[in-house]
Amino acid sequence: MKFPTGDKTVSIIQYVIYLLFCLFVAGIIGWIAHLILLSRELQDVPSASIGISIVAIPLFSTLIAIFSYVFWGMKRGKQ
Amino acid sequence: MPRWGMAIDLNKCTACQACVIACKAENNIPFVGPEETAKGRDITWMELISVHEGHYPDAKIKFFPRPCFHCDKPPCTKVCPVHATYKNPEGLVAQIFQRCIGCRFCMAACPYTVKYFNWYKYDIPDEMKNHYNPDVFVRPAGVVEKCTMCHHRLQKARDKARVEGRSLKPGEYIPACAETCPSNAIIFGDLDNSSSEVARLSRSSRAFRLHEELGTEPKVFYLTEEDRHVI
Amino acid sequence: MSFENKWGQDERLFEPIEKTGWGFRATVAILLVLVAWGATSYFRQVKYGLGVTGMAEPVSWGLYITNFVFFIGISHAGTLISAILRLSQAEWRRPITRMAEVITVAVLFIGAGYVLIDLGRPDRMLNVLLYGRYQSPLLWDATSISAYLTASTIYLYLPLIPDIAILRDRARKWNFIFRILSLGWQGTAKQQKVLNRAIAIMAVLVIPIAVSVHTVVSFVFSMTLQPGWHSTIFGPYFVVGAIFSGIAVLIIVMVVFRKAFRLEAYLKEIHFSNLGLLLLVMSLLWFYFTFAEYLTGFYGHEPEEMSVFWDKFRGQYAPHFWAMVTFNFVLPIIILGNRRTRTILGTLIASITISIGMWMERFLIIVPTLMNPRLEYSRGFYFPTLTEWSITIAGFALFLLFYVVFTKFFPIISAWEVKEGREEGLEEVDHRVRSYLPDYGN
Subunit contact C61:B108, Cβ cutoff 8 A: yes
**What local confidence, expressed as pLDDT, does residue A78 receive?**
83
Backbone angles phi, psi at B54, to 5 degrees: 65, -175
Cβ-based contacts of B83 with chain A (< 8 Å): 42, 44
Q: Distance between CA B11 and CA B29 in Å, rounded?
A: 28
User: Cβ(B76)–Cβ(B109) under 8 Å?
Assistant: yes
C5–chain A Cβ distance below 8 A for any pair:
no
**Could you give the percent of chain C with pLDDT greater than 90?**
77
Q: What is the mean pLDDT of chain C?
A: 92
Of the pLDDT bands very low, low, confident and very high (cuts 50, 70, 90), residue C3 is: very low
**What local confidence, expressed as pLDDT, does residue A53 receive?**
95
Of the pLDDT bands very low, low, confident and very high (cuts 50, 70, 90), residue C5 is: very low
Residue B53 reports pLDDT greater than 50:
yes
Q: Distance between CA C340 and CA C84 in Å, rounded?
A: 27
- Cis amide leading into C58 (omega within 30): yes
The type of residue at C404 is V
Domain boundaries, chain A: 25-67
Q: Evaluate whether ipTM surpasses 0.90.
A: yes
pTM of the model: 0.94
Question: Helix, strand or coil for residue C432?
Answer: helix
SS3 content of chain B, % helix, strand, coil (to 5): 25, 20, 55
Cβ-based contacts of C367 with chain B (< 8 Å): none
**What local confidence, expressed as pLDDT, does residue B170 receive?**
86
Express each pLDDT in C251-279 by its tens digit: 999 999 999 999 999 999 999 999 999 99
**What local confidence, expressed as pLDDT, does residue C1 receive?**
34
The type of residue at C210 is A
| B211 Cα to chain C: minimum distance (Å) | 9
**Could you give the percent of chain B with pLDDT greater than 90?**
77
User: Cβ(C342)–Cβ(C273) under 8 Å?
Assistant: yes
| 125-164 in chain C: CB under 8 A from chain A | 129, 131-135, 139-140, 143, 146-147, 150-151, 154, 158, 161
Does residue B230 belong to any structural domain of this protein?
no
Q: Distance between CA B131 and CA C372 in Å, rounded?
A: 37
Subunit contact A75:C185, Cβ cutoff 8 A: no
Q: What CA–CA distances, in Å, run from C115 to B96, C43, C50, C188?
A: 21, 15, 13, 45
Q: How many helices (H) and strands (E) does chain B have?
A: 7, 10
Fold classified for C18-421:
Formate dehydrogenase/DMSO reductase fold (1.20.1630)
Does residue B228 belong to any structural domain of this protein?
no
Domain boundaries, chain C: 18-421
A8–chain C Cβ distance below 8 A for any pair:
no
Total number of domains in chain B? 1
Q: Where in chain B does DSSP place strands (E)?
A: 4-9, 47-53, 60-66, 85-87, 93-95, 116-117, 144-145, 186-190, 207-208, 220-223
| Domain enclosing residue B19, as ranges | 4-223
A44–chain B Cβ distance below 8 A for any pair:
yes
Nearest CA in chain C to A50: C134
Q: What CA–CA distances, in Å, run from C8 to A69, C121, C133, C419?
A: 33, 55, 56, 11
Subunit contact C120:B142, Cβ cutoff 8 A: yes
Distance of CA B61 to the CA centre of its chain: 22
CA angle B142, B147, B150 (to 5 degrees): 120
Q: What is the mean pLDDT of residues C345-362?
A: 97
- Asked which of C20-24, C125-129, C384-388 is least confident by mean pLDDT, the reply is C20-24
Nearest CA in chain A to C162: A74
Q: Distance between CA B169 and CA B161 in Å, rounded?
A: 8
Give the nearest partner residue to A73 out of C151, C194, C205, using CB atoms.
C194
A19–chain C Cβ distance below 8 A for any pair:
no
CATH of the domain at B137: 3.30.70.20
